[in-house]
Amino acid sequence: MDQVLMQIKEIAARYPLDKIILFGSRARGDYQETSDYDLAVFGEDISVGRKSQFALEVEEIRTLHKIDIIWVDDRVNEKLKANITREGVVIYESVRPKA
């Protein structure tokens, strides 16, 4: 796993997230050197404020690559959800017990 993804995992562990899935060209393995990171973030029990904090921490990762975050909930397009499920790679999954 590359350094950027390792840092994202470390940040994610500090938040009430269920999982993070890398999707797009980096998940498929057909990325270019300049390709961005596409992240689908799942977390039912996270406030808007904590989502913003998480996004800011991820944004502060020292990289020349853009990191796009999509919060997966009921408003996310079904076609996009299917794409994430089909080609995505889980890079983080919570070990916290469900309530």
12-40 per-position pLDDT tens digit: 999 999 999 999 999 999 999 899 999 99
> How would CATH label the architecture of 3-93?
2-Layer Sandwich (3.30)
Q: Looking at the whole model, is its pTM more than 0.85? A: yes
Domain ranges of the chain: 3-93
User: CB-side exposure of 25: number of CA atoms within 13 Å?
Assistant: 11
Mean pLDDT of 45-55: 94
Inform me whether the pLDDT recorded for 48 exceeds 90. yes
54-96 per-position pLDDT tens digit: 999 999 999 989 999 999 987 889 999 999 999 999 999 998 7
9 Cβ contact partners less than 8 Å away, ≥ 6 residues apart: 1, 20, 91, 92
